[in-house]
């Protein structure tokens, strides 16, 4: 799914636009025991589609053999086709979630079913709501931590007096969730689902394995760290400032071009694309093959990464154990490395004024 499709469904989940009559769910305590079940009207779903593609939101792609008859896809299909009225399927899903999710304290499992009359999109990209193309039906699952609030002082308008409000249990924003089936090309895709995590650094792989029987790519921060490690270890002494700068600049150019072109599909970069960049830098075939082998081990041979997850477009950061230097990404040309009298230096060419802790200094 792309940003436009997610945004369209997010708008759909506004209280005044959706026709979700009720939500099924259960309340799970810290001992992983269901202590309450409910089937009632409630509004807390939109945040399950919040965040960025390839960060908070990840496409889950099922294999054909899974769609044909696997237990995990059959369960999701039963929930979807029954509009959450299949009690056995509901209980099975509860059991799978409780056995696989790790959330501190109590939490709610919320399940909603909805039907969306997909409006026709004209050539000018405007939606014509009176010209529906098809009906997209889906289920949405949200897992929301329940936390104890704080004592507060409130004002009673009727009695014109202040009162102490004791702490109570509050339902917080979703920690994990998913949408099934996927909404690809603005239509139903039974071969996909959309998975959500509030914190990109914790993507709950055990949950994904249990519910979807699929592997999920490591969190964005881990992707960046792993990519940098592979680049450094395989290039070894060839990993100099020019090479790193070139790889970074090419990836940033891809991001900028994708943004300017307004391409709806999420931007990803393949292993072969990075290899071509290394080739253009004059890296030997042996080094690039080592890079390919390490990439396959870490990410998988057919895995593409989001460039936004492996480079910071806002700044260049150079670090030693004692010094950190941050550089405008458009002025990487001001920095160079050099060996002087046998010692290594990072040199920064100064073209403007210099401030240290807000104090202008002069170089004479």
More confident position, 140 or 124: 140
Q: Count the residues in the chain.
A: 364
Contact 108, 144 (CB under 8 A): yes
pLDDT at 137 over 70: yes
111/90 Cα distance (integer angstroms): 9
Please state, as a whole number, how many other Cβ atoms lie within 10 Å of the Cβ of residue 16: 4
Q: Is the dihedral of CA 128, 130, 134, 136 positive or negative?
A: positive
Q: Confidence class of residue 196 from pLDDT cuts 50, 70 and 90?
A: very high
φ, ψ for residue 190 (rounded to 5)? -70, -10
Supply the DSSP symbol for 265: S
Q: How far apart are CA 348 and CA 333, in angstroms?
A: 9
Amino acid 165: pLDDT: 74
Q: Is the pLDDT of residue 140 over 60?
A: yes
Q: What mean pLDDT is reported for the chain?
A: 87
Alpha carbons 198 and 196: distance in angstroms, whole number: 7
Q: What does the pLDDT read at residue 129?
A: 58
Specify the 3-state DSSP secondary structure of 196.
strand
Q: Of 22-31, 161-170, 247-256, 274-283, which gets the smallest average pLDDT?
A: 161-170
Residues contacting residue 307 through CB under 8 Å, at least 6 positions apart: 251, 252, 254, 255, 267, 268, 269
Which residues lie closer than 8 Å to 360 by C-beta, 6 or more apart?
A: 353, 354
Position 193 scores a pLDDT of: 95
Write out the two tokens for 266: 């999420």
- Percent above pLDDT 70 for the chain: 93
- pTM score, two decimals? 0.76
pLDDT in tens, 210-235: 999 998 888 888 999 999 999 999 99
Residue 208 in contact with residue 193, Cβ under 8 Å?
A: no
């Amino acid at each position: 799914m792309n940003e436009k499709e997610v945004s369209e469904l997010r708008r759909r989940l506004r209280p005044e636009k959706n026709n979700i009559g009720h939500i099924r769910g259960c309340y799970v305590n810290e001992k992983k025991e269901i202590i309450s079940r409910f089937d009632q009207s409630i509004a807390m779903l939109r945040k399950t589609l919040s965040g960025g593609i390839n960060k908070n939101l990840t496409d889950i792609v099922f294999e054909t053999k899974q769609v044909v008859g696997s237990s995990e896809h059959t369960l999701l299909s039963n929930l979807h086709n029954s509009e959450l009225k299949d009690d056995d399927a509901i209980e099975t899903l509860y059991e799978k979630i409780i056995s696989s999710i790790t959330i501190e304290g109590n939490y709610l499992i919320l399940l909603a079913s909805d039907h969306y009359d997909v409006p026709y999109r004209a050539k000018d990209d405007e939606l014509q709501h009176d010209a529906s193309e098809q009906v997209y039906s889906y289920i949405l699952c949200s897992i929301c931590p329940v936390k104890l609030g704080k004592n507060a002082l409130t004002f009673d308008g009727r009695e014109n007096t202040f009162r102490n409000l004791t702490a109570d249990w509050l339902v917080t924003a979703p920690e994990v969730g998913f949408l099934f089936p996927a909404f690809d090309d603005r239509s139903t895709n039974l071969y996909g689902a959309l998975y959500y995590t509030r914190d990109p650094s914790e993507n709950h792989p055990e949950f994904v394995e249990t519910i979807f029987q699929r592997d999920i790519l490591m969190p964005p921060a881990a992707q960046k760290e792993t990519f940098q490690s592979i680049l450094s270890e395989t290039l070894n002494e060839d990993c100099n400032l020019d090479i790193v700068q070139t790889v970074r600049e090419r990836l940033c150019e891809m991001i900028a071009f994708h943004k300017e072109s307004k391409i709806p599909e999420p931007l990803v970069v393949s292993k072969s694309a990075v290899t071509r960049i290394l080739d253009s830098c004059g890296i030997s075939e042996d080094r690039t093959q080592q890079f390919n082998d390490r990439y396959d081990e870490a990410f998988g041979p057919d895995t593409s990464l989001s460039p936004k997850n492996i480079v910071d477009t806002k700044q260049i950061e150079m670090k030693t154990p004692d010094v950190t230097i941050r550089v405008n990404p458009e002025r990487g040309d001001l920095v160079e490395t050099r060996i002087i009298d046998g010692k290594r230096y990072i040199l920064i060419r100064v073209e403007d004024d210099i401030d240290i802790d807000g104090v202008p200094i002069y170089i004479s």
